[in-house]
């Protein structure tokens, strides 16, 4: 026993042969220093509720970029609802002990926050919904300014009948974009017609259905701010079905600037939401020595700028 103790303590008064014998014995029985565990390849974890989303890939790429710079590996989990991860996710992450966790959710239940903090696993929320938990570090983008820029572009082109199809009424980002639209209309001295304001669900079909309705009738809008690129694709299809050319007969603006926005026919004018950059920012926050969710530091909120990208789906309004 004293010999083993000496070996384990790294003392020099043990013969090389004895040390080797003890080490072989431990090794043969499957023992190794726990310290080695921490040398296993570091992980950065990203958790979504929905991989379907056209956003998801942009966010994954952002995390992967920062992981690569830091020789870390990305772990991906799909869990829970739009609002919060499922409770089953927690034991796994506590066992994996990643460098940090990027969560694509608006709110985190108290016990998830408490347990990640107790395990000293930093976390940051990417919150495209724009409704951050004040208690949690988060990265978002400027939704009101995006709604304003999209609508001003259309009023600057001379459009007066401008419709908006925003997102769900229970998401802050939808309301912020709608308020940006209202302000731009007011700044242009135009009245916002309530019949031209619609709540969608950010998917193609809801853009299509609202646009089919909006484009039916003599007093139709000459421009639609679609609130997401997917909704804008639905508006393009409704225009085709109604026999309207884009942009000659109808201008369309999207939101997000996901890759497919440049592949549509015509390519979409849209508001760039810097999703990849948001994920990079979130990942970098995790890896800083003063990671924002280290106990004792204040929660941070970063909001990145949005900007308009003008392509070919918008044109000057020409009175017929």
Kindly list the residues in this chain that would bind a copy of itself in the complex (CB under 8 A).
Answer: 1, 3-5, 8-9, 21-22, 25-26, 28-35, 37, 39-41, 43, 51-52, 54, 56-57, 60-61, 64, 68, 73-78, 91-92, 95-96, 204, 230, 233-234, 236-237, 239-240, 259-260, 262-267
Strands 251-256 and 223-225: parallel
Q: How far is the CB of 61 from a copy of itself (least distance, A)?
A: 5
Q: How far is the CB of 232 from a copy of itself (least distance, A)?
A: 10
Q: Cα separation of 174 and 147, whole Å?
A: 9
Q: Cα separation of 158 and 1, whole Å?
A: 90
Q: How far is the CB of 255 from a copy of itself (least distance, A)?
A: 15
Q: Which is nearer to a copy of itself, 120 or 187 (CB)?
A: 120
Q: Cα separation of 217 and 117, whole Å?
A: 57
> Do the Cβ atoms of 228 and 236 come closer than 8 Å?
no
Strand order in the sheet with 269-272: 197-199, 162-166, 223-225, 251-256, 269-272, 307-309
Q: Cα separation of 262 and 298, whole Å?
A: 40
Q: How far is the CB of 292 from a copy of itself (least distance, A)?
A: 24
Q: Which is nearer to a copy of itself, 230 or 315 (CB)?
A: 230
Q: Which is nearer to a copy of itself, 16 or 319 (CB)?
A: 16
Helices 143-156 and 172-187 cross at an angle (nearest 10°) of 30
Q: Which is nearer to a copy of itself, 72 or 139 (CB)?
A: 72
Nearest Cα neighbor of 234 from 258, 204, 212 is 204
Q: Which residues contact 92 (CB under 8 A, 6 or more apart)?
A: 77
Q: Which is nearer to a copy of itself, 110 or 263 (CB)?
A: 263
Q: Which is nearer to a copy of itself, 29 or 319 (CB)?
A: 29
Q: How far is the CB of 119 from a copy of itself (least distance, A)?
A: 14
> Do the Cβ atoms of 170 and 129 come closer than 8 Å?
no
Q: How far is the CB of 181 from a copy of itself (least distance, A)?
A: 24
């Amino acid at each position: 026993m004293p010999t083993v103790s000496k070996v384990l303590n790294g003392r020099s008064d043990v013969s090389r042969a004895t040390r080797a014998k003890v080490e072989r014995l431990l090794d043969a029985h499957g023992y190794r220093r726990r310290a080695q565990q921490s040398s296993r390849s570091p992980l950065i974890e990203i958790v979504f509720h929905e991989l379907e989303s056209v956003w998801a890939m942009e966010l994954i790429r952002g995390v992967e970029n920062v992981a690569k710079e830091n020789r870390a590996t990305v772990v991906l989990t799909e869990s829970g609802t739009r609002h919060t991860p499922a409770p089953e996710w927690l034991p796994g992450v506590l066992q994996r002990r990643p460098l940090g966790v990027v969560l694509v959710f608006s709110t985190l239940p108290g016990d998830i926050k408490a347990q990640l903090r107790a395990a000293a696993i930093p976390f940051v929320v990417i919150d495209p919904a724009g409704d951050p938990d004040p208690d949690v570090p988060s990265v978002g983008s400027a939704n009101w300014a995006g709604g304003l820029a999209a609508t001003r572009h259309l009023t600057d082109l001379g459009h007066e009948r401008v419709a908006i199809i925003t997102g769900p009424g229970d998401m802050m980002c939808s309301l912020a974009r709608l308020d940006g639209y209202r302000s731009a209309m007011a700044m242009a001295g135009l009245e916002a017609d309530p019949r031209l304001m619609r709540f969608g669900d950010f998917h193609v079909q809801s853009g299509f259905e609202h646009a089919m309705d909006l484009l039916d009738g003599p007093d139709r809008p000459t421009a639609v701010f679609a609130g997401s690129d997917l909704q804008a694709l639905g508006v393009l299809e409704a225009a085709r079905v109604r026999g309207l050319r884009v942009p000659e007969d109808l201008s369309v603006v999207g939101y997000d600037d996901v890759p497919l926005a440049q592949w549509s026919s015509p390519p979409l004018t849209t508001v760039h939401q810097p999703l990849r950059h948001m994920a990079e920012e979130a990942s970098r926050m995790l890896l800083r020595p003063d990671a924002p969710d280290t106990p004792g530091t204040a929660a941070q909120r970063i909001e990145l700028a949005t900007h308009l990208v003008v392509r070919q789906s918008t044109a000057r309004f020409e009175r017929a």
